[in-house]
Amino acid sequence: MTAHQRLGINVDHVATVRNARGGSNPDPVRAALLAKEAGADGITAHLREDRRHIIDGDIGRLVKEVALPLNFEMAATEEMVAIALKHKPHAACIVPEKREERTTEGGLDAAGQHNNLKPMVARLRDAGIRVSLFIEADPRQLAAAVSLGAPVVELHTGRYCEIESAERAAELVRIQKAAALCEQLGLECHAGHGLNYENVGPISAIPNVRELNIGHFLVGEAIFVGFVPAIREMRRLMDLARAVAKS
Ligand code: PXP
């Protein structure tokens, strides 16, 4: 049997809309509670250095008020490590972060940043936090994740989602190969970024991808159909893709 593939819902862009006006609406914690009602397996939130969407208070509230594991996306900085150690989320996903980017562009250079990352991964792990690294589907980066002692990697699907036809097929193969390599290396494999109803199937169908993290598309779709139906439709498409892949 193919293991259940978890769906983590990223609530960052509920906070983007809130912050456009200031104040407290729409509340990302309320969105996280609805995600639970819709059958989500976890909540993901990225506290960026510039606090453009999720703010510090959201993290404490997500941990306390939502009975789902929190995946805390964070840059590899002392400030973020201290916040993770304070709130002790279920998981911390280390992502590359540039102030000028609109969203996380490209994966973390786990290989090039070995000396900076090694003690951070160790401190997070020692606190009982499951560490993942958001990387490109590149064997060199997977090997670096192993040497850093990270138990999980999240493969960046942004390029796969952005490009068309033949190139997309080639990127999918790269992701499939990286997922298979994770299995050999003993890494738990997650994937995310840019996923929507149209492109989720082939990624969801990869047997050992244990978790998808999806946000921006679902928050947009919620405007038209509501957050709970939008998440349920994503869940349905994931289950369908996995059932077809198995048959
Ligand atoms: N996973 C990681 C590590 C991310 O940084 C993001 C974007 O914040 C996502 C998943 C979700 O991407 P999207 O919002 O495009 O679905």
Position 211 in a domain: yes
Contact 12, 54 (CB under 8 A): yes
Position 202 in a domain: yes
In the residue annotation, 46 being an active-site residue is answered as: yes
Rounded to a whole number of angstroms, the CA Rg of the chain reads 17
| Percent with pLDDT over 90 in the chain | 93
Position 189 in a domain: yes
Per-residue pLDDT of 126-167, as tens digits, reads 999 999 999 999 999 999 999 999 999 999 999 999 998 889
User: Which domain covers residue 36, as residue numbers?
Assistant: 6-246
Position 57 in a domain: yes
**What is the pLDDT, as a whole number, of residue 2?**
63
- Beta-bridge partners for 8: 42, 213
Q: Is pLDDT at 43 greater than 80 in this prediction?
A: yes
Position 58 in a domain: yes
* 10 alpha carbon – ligand 1 mean position (Å): 7
Q: Is pLDDT at 1 greater than 70 in this prediction?
A: no
Q: Is pLDDT at 98 greater than 90 in this prediction?
A: no
Query: Exactly one of 136, 171, 193, 221 is catalytic; which is it?
Result: 193
In the residue annotation, 101 being an active-site residue is answered as: no
Give the CATH number of the domain where residue 157 resides. 3.20.20.70
Per-residue pLDDT of 61-90, as tens digits, reads 999 999 999 999 999 999 999 999 999 999
pTM score:
0.96
Position 10 in a domain: yes
Please work out whether the CB of residue 93 comes within 6 Å of at least one atom of ligand 1. Answer: yes
Q: Is pLDDT at 30 greater than 50 in this prediction?
A: yes
Q: Please tell me the total count of domains within the chain.
A: 1
Position 1 in a domain: no
- Assign 3 a pLDDT band (cuts: 50, 70, 90): confident
Please work out whether the CB of residue 104 comes within 6 Å of at least one atom of ligand 1. Answer: yes
Per-residue pLDDT of 172-231, as tens digits, reads 999 999 999 999 999 999 999 999 999 999 999 999 999 999 999 999 999 999 999 999
In the residue annotation, 171 being an active-site residue is answered as: no
Position 209 in a domain: yes
